[in-house]
Amino acid sequence: MKFIEKNPIIMIVIGVLGISLSSIFVKFSSAPSAVTAAYRLLWTVLILTPVVFSKKDTRKELKTLSKKSVILSIVSGVFLAVHFVLWFESLSHTSVASSTTIVCTEVIWVALGYLFVLKGKLNAKAIIAIAVTLLGSVLIAYSDSGGETGLYGDILALLAAVAVAVYTLIGGVVREKVSTTVYTYIVYVSCAVVLLGTCLVQGHNLFAFGISAPVVGLLLSLFSTILGHSIFSWCLKYFSPSFVSASKLCEPVVSALFAAFIFTEIPTLLQIAGAVLVLGGVLFYSLIETKK
């Protein structure tokens, strides 16, 4: 552990690999998007439950939470569930490169939500960053418009980005009074319930798709959630938030490389140009927010 603390960049690399593998794992699942997502959240809740309830402070906080915090956390979980279903489904209709890049526009939708919903203010540089990012998304969508389902997959990825942006905005409000552990646990539990309900409404039997669905769900939980997003939270102790946020932008690049070798998905020049604009715009906006 001391070696890792002296060389925390190792954890950044592991975190990037973890989140980059999520889209690859989803591609290997033979189950519908809601089923795959449900397994991911069920495994995550199963792993986190003993951790949460083994701590006295966490148990006490859960009992004393305000009604408003509980409701907002549940709503946040609902939007996270919508995000998972839409994003997983997008991967069935468009390339890994296009889907992961468009989902990275989450930061921009958070900014727009901050502007129009929370009545915040954005300076000229931030508006330019948003415009560049949206232009990149348009280029990616245009490059996929010639295919039968590519554009549909891009639209799903865009909606997934909007859904996760709402989740992030709500989290920003709740986290002012609630710890990360308690907030995320309530979110994951409510998200799992919504996904199970979605499977029920759609008529999906969780056990009707063989071993691939639970295995993919477990891999997503371990690599993408625990060895991905959780590691980035740990890295905030050693790196600035801007560096950690910027490192996440490696996900579309690494995911695209994995997809190129595993699924022979080779992005076009227009897709690459769009991805450069999207990631550049998101990085520029992240830097602006950090300076503020």
Interval 216-270: pLDDT, tens:
999 999 998 888 877 876 776 777 655 676 677 788 888 988 998 999 988 889 8
Quick one: average pLDDT of 47-69?
A: 93
Q: What share of the chain is helix, strand, coil (3-state, %, to 5)?
A: 80, 0, 20
Residue 27 lies in a domain: yes
Close Cβ partners of 267 (under 8 Å, ≥ 6 residues apart): 95, 97, 98, 256, 260, 275
Residue 42 lies in a domain: yes
Residue 267 lies in a domain: yes
Residue 3 lies in a domain: no
Number of domains in the chain: 1
Residue 49 lies in a domain: yes
Please say whether the beta carbons of 16 and 247 come within 8 A. Answer: yes
Residue 1 lies in a domain: no
Please say whether the beta carbons of 69 and 116 come within 8 A. Answer: no
Distance CA(24)–CA(255), nearest Å, equals 7
Q: Is it the case that residue 1 has pLDDT exceeding 90? A: no
Residue numbers of the domain that contains 129? 10-291
Tell me, what DSSP letter sits at residue 268? P
Residue 194 lies in a domain: yes
Distance CA(83)–CA(92), nearest Å, equals 15
Distance CA(10)–CA(13), nearest Å, equals 5
Q: Which pLDDT score, from 0 to 100, does residue 148 have?
A: 62
